[in-house]
Amino acid sequence: MQIRRLFAVLLAAVMVLTLAACGTSNKQDPSDNTKAQETTAAGTESSDSATASAETSEQPSSDTSDAETSEQPSSDTSDTETAENKILVVYFSWSGHLDSMAHWVADETGGDLYRVTAKDPYPDDYNQTADRAKQEQDNDERPEIMIDLTEEQMAQYDTVFFGFPVWWYDLPMSMWTFLESYDFSGKTIIPFFSHEGSSNGAGALPTIEKLAEGATVRSDDALSIRGGSVADSEEDVREWVQGLGYRKTAQTPQEELPAPSGKPLVVYYSASGNTGRVAEYVADELGADTFEIIPVNVYSDEDLNWRDPSSRVNQEHNDTSLQDIELVSTEAPNWSEYDVVLIGYPIWWREASWVVNNFIKNNDFTGKTVIPFCTSSSSGLGDSGIHLAEMAGTGTWLEGIRFTENPSEDSVREWVRGLDLE
């Protein structure tokens, strides 16, 4: 009897070790206060997998990206294409890992960037989010999501880069909602994801193949990066995109126009300082005067936190009647003396920040050459300059340029010199 009992104990131990080998060695219960980790093996998924982590690589983050340096979903679509292939980069992120990866993908491909968020935001607390994610999965829920992308706009895209963290061996249920909301027939879907052990994506990739009916899902080409390594993975992400053959083409040269001439003025609005730095480089290179657009009610860091649905920028974005921003002044001194106006702004939801609108509306640009420049973390200039020109109704507006949120001084000065301002 003792021998049989000993044999049974040994057999049980072997089974435990075998299952552990299929998962991650640092798996922790999500109820722990310590940092929870993700399990890995799809084959071990079950209704009683209470030891599996809900959040695979995404951990609560105190970081808040402001509206000047981060992109938000937009009803607008970018004109940037790769080999006539219209690209969408869509992602879900809780801690910020997928946010970083998606921005690198979008920047490398020139694709349009859309973030999926739950209408009812997930808590900042890890354990609460883990519990909610597990409940959603167990109940086969489809959380209501926020994404400003119509079915007609989706139809324009040929390729969809699809980013997510692995939660409970699968997609976050918010991404189930997204996949079931659109027709993916004829599209190519390329997944990329973060994890803390499920390097093969566990059940997430089969789920995409099931829900995106009619699409070609390139699961074998999916990019998998451990969450703790995301911060150092930018080069890897970009090389992966390039290896797939999706790299943005050079912009079409601007139509030849006479070089603008005359006295220049640099007008700009900067929420977090990025556009302001570019404006300083531009003005210094030209020896130009500057005029800063300043709202009466200056935006705080909390106001600029686009991740908070209740933040000021989100409220203003959702209700255009709130975008009539009172400015300290709309009158640049000696306005009539300037022949060339360079106007800088951050991109908010793929458009010029609405803070600049009242300056544009309240000034006569007749006889002036206007050159827009903007800063953004991913999106291009798009039609932002065109829309400002339409708002102004006067002036000769050139195409302009987009800079990253932290461009080198040399790159800005090189652009200015290339304008051949006389």
Q: Judge if 25-250 and 264-418 fold alike in CATH terms.
A: yes
Least confident of 116-120, 140-144, 162-166: 116-120
Instruction: Express each pLDDT in 82-109 by its tens digit.
Output: 445 799 999 999 878 898 899 899 888 8
Supply the pTM of this predicted model: 0.53
Domain boundaries, the chain: 25-250, 264-418
Residue 248 CB coordination number (10 Å): 18
What are the CA-CA distances from residue 172 to residues 97, 130, 214 (Å)?
A: 14, 11, 21
pLDDT over 90 at 359, yes or no: yes
161: tokens are: 């880069």
pLDDT over 70 at 289, yes or no: yes
Q: Mean pLDDT across the stretch 18-47? A: 30
CATH topology of domain 25-250: Rossmann fold (3.40.50)
For 181-195, give the DSSP string.
Answer: TS--TT-EEEEEEEE
Beta bridge partners of 161: 89, 190
Q: What are the two backbone dihedrals, phi and then psi, of residue 367, each rounded to the nearest 5 degrees?
A: 80, 0
Split at pLDDT 50, 70, 90, the class of 55 is very low
146 or 388, which is more confident: 388
Q: Which helix or strand (DSSP H or E) is residue 347 part of?
A: strand 340-348
Beta bridge partners of 91: 115, 163
Q: Mean pLDDT across the stretch 116-144? A: 92
What are the CA-CA distances from residue 223 to residues 25, 164, 193, 236, 282 (Å)?
A: 22, 11, 6, 9, 39
For 125-159, give the DSSP string.
Answer: SHHHHHHHHHHHHHTT----EE----HHHHTT-SE
| CATH code for residues 264-418 | 3.40.50.360
277: tokens are: 């730095």
